[in-house]
Amino acid sequence: MKKRALGSSGLEVSAMGLGCMGLTHAYGHPVEAQTGIDLIRTAVERGVTLFDTAEIYGPYTNEELLGRALEPVRDRVVIATKFGFAIGSGGRRSNLNSRPEHIRQVAEASLTRLKTDRIDLFYQHRVDPEVPIEDVAGTVGDLIAEGKVKHFGLSEAGASTLRRAHAVQPVTALQSEYSLWWREPEREILPTLEELGIGFVPFSPLGRGFLTGTIDASTDFTENDFRNRLPRFSADARRANQALIEALANIARGKAATTAQIALAWLLAQKPWIVPIPGTTKLHRLEENLAAAEITLTATDLQDIQHALDRVSVYGARYPEHMEKQTNR
């Protein structure tokens, strides 16, 4: 697996990471623990070094699974986790909470669940409008000085917030959604990251599965699948968005690749400091995703993809309104 540096921080990771959320959270029933451990360890064997989790995934169970899986190879990998939500009774996510004392509590609990003495990359999961970002950055900076955290990250933060945080404690990476069907970061975020020397870790690089070409208007999601609540995954939107999949499939055939591999290779081609974190629960999908790191898209390929995108429109909002309000702050 090729390596990439996340901006100018000096943190080097595999060109493709593994998003672990779906193993226990959001996309239906959690996998059996041993199945998840086997998948994570296979990723390590294939050269993946960046593993992404969060206390809210489960909650808690995702970090626990990752801790069990990576404990034998801890010094070979980079573990990223997140703080920023209060977790209420019954394990339900409640309000945002990035107060300094809460950040410290989350860090200590995450260290225990992850079976480690340091968090390599500690993200604020969502910007908390009630807590100045300078206080958040300063608190993580203190944790870095104590050796409990190595690098500071933000998720779904806007350009102004990035600048303010970076002035207090250098930000190593921003994690936000970015893919062939969500290109909003190109407007302001990517130029800001390049200017500041911050790496970019796109989540949902396969459009929550849609860009694999395996989802259509007739697909039934399980009752507890997060996508049931997303406007972009209504049956009408999925039907309308098939035009994008058809365009990608035509390009993929010319490269002897899958649509998922083209989508991931396209992200890798945008900037050398972009590291996608596709997630999966299936070993064959893991192999497929990782193989995308070996695909080189030429300038002509990228132009063909752009022309295809220019001819199609993506339908449906990515989040319900209340969730979208928590992004790009």
Task: Find the largest Cα–Cα distance for the chain.
Answer: 54
Give the contacts of 132 (CB within 8 A, at least 6 positions apart). Answer: none
CA distances from 140 to 109, 150, 182 (A): 15, 9, 29
- Which backbone phi and psi does 219 adopt, to 5 degrees? -65, 130
Tell me the Ramachandran region of residue 7: left when phi exceeds 0, alpha when psi lies from -120 to 50, beta otherwise: left
Determine which one of 27, 57, 123, 178 is catalytic.
57
Helix (H, G, I), strand (E, B) or coil at 172: strand
Torsion of CA 209, 175, 324, 190, to 10 degrees: -100
To the query of whether residue 57 is one of the catalytic residues in this protein, the response is yes
CB 206 within 8 A of CB 180: no
Q: Which residues are catalytic?
A: 57
